[in-house]
Structure 1
Amino acid sequence: MSDFTEFGNVPSTTLADILGREQVMDYGVRPLWSDIPRVAGPAFTVRCPAGDNLMLHAAIHRAEPGSIIVVQSGDVDFALAGGNVCAVAQRRGVAAIVTDGVIRDLGEVRQMRFPVFARGIIPIPGTKSAVEPLNVQVRCGGVRVNAGDIVVADEEGIVVTPRARRDEVLAAARAKLAKEAGESLDAWEEAHRARIDKILADQGFEDSTGPEPGA
């Protein structure tokens, strides 16, 4: 779990810069309470068809401690989970639930400070009848997620690092963070202006030399 712990020190913004748009869930999947901590861990994937939440309820008893349950939901009309499901997940060591569906009992979830990233809340629960395989590829927030991929979720967003790229991405993140830590704002500003001015010049932009407004 050491690599997952290290990913917990990497902001989602840094990973997004490295991995690109296709590994970043869309902005609708967001933290459901404020001051949510950054979480990182291997994905335990779940697929729930429209109106049904059986497999998420099954997953909380099967996911390993430290994992993040990632749920592909069939709709946003019925809650996938509520306070008791989140409480059991938390008690069993699950790090978080990430879903492109909705949950209920937000007050309970917020009080226990269990990290949930979802599209929102709704008071009515789904049914429990549709059996689906666990730990198969799912699509959540527009991102394909496989079991064991590394999920990092914080207040900025959710980024998924493919399991096969774990070492490469972690090394790149370490290097990027070290570079940024050693760079002053003055140095960043100088390099930034030079880069922007070059892009403008290459596109034929010219600064106005006319009179200032109001002259």
Structure 2
Amino acid sequence: MHFLTTDLCDDNDDVRVLEPLFRDFGDARRFAGRIVTLKLFEDNSLVRETLTETGNGRVLVVDGGGSTRCALMGDQIGELAVANSWAGVVIYGCVRDTVVLSSLPLGVKALAVHPKKSLKRGEGQRDIPVSFAGVTFHPGEWLYADEDGIIVSSRALL
């Protein structure tokens, strides 16, 4: 996939740009796809459950409340995402197992790294609007991410 978020911003006044809070953890630094949303807190049950579905190049956007007290994704969930054809995951929270994540052909952007695993209570919501980093994400919108940032659009830009 060839695009630059800088060019997409220059050519489209209606894109929304996330605040520059995120670090890259996957091997795919550039990724894009339709958005699937999750809202949860320190419980990654829905992350795993969602990434067991066929991704068809979609991007999972996880509002983890910005928690830096545990990881919401690690190597096993990352490998699951790759096996099921997800393009990427954006987590407003932490990841772990970064050595393995960095070798996976998957876009992974998150706030930080934390070695502790999350709880497994099966709590959270899916396919609802979520807001973080100055942007509201709606299921079915498009996300584009590269080395320069993350942008969201209500329509496909490519």
TM-score, with structure 1 as normaliser: 0.66
2:151 aligned partner: 159
Q: State how 1:82-97 maps to structure 2 within 5 Å.
A: 82-97=74-89
Whichever residue aligns with residue 48 of structure 2, its letter is H
Matched, 1:69 2:60: yes
Q: State how 1:1-215 maps to structure 2 within 5 Å.
A: 8-17=1-10, 18-19=12-13, 23-32=16-25, 36-49=28-41, 51-62=42-53, 64-74=55-65, 75-162=67-154, 166=155, 170=157
Structure 1 gap segments, 5+ residues each:
1-7, 175-215
1:65 Cα deviation from its structure 2 partner = 1.8
Residues 19, 78 of structure 1: alpha-carbon distance in 2 compared, 3 angstrom cutoff: farther
Instruction: Judge conservation of contact 1:63–1:69 (CA < 8 Å) in 2.
Output: no
Instruction: Judge conservation of contact 2:55–2:81 (CA < 8 Å) in 1.
Output: no
Give distance in 2, aligned partners of 1:140 and 1:153: 16
1:182 aligned partner: none
Aligned-CA RMSD value: 2.0
Larger Rg: 1
1:121 Cα deviation from its structure 2 partner = 0.8
Residues 64, 111 of structure 1: alpha-carbon distance in 2 compared, 3 angstrom cutoff: closer
Deviating more after overlay: 87-96 vs 35-44:
35-44
Give distance in 2, aligned partners of 1:43 and 1:67: 6
1:19 Cα deviation from its structure 2 partner = 3.6
Give distance in 1, aligned partners of 2:53 and 2:140: 14
Higher relative contact order (CA 8 A, sep 6+): 2
Instruction: Judge conservation of contact 1:48–1:54 (CA < 8 Å) in 2.
Output: no
Whichever residue aligns with residue 26 of structure 1, its letter is E
Structure 2 gap segments, 5+ residues each:
none
1:134 Cα deviation from its structure 2 partner = 1.2
1:23 Cα deviation from its structure 2 partner = 1.2
1:89 Cα deviation from its structure 2 partner = 0.6
Give distance in 1, aligned partners of 2:29 and 2:69: 27
1:48 Cα deviation from its structure 2 partner = 1.3
Higher strand content, 1 or 2: 2
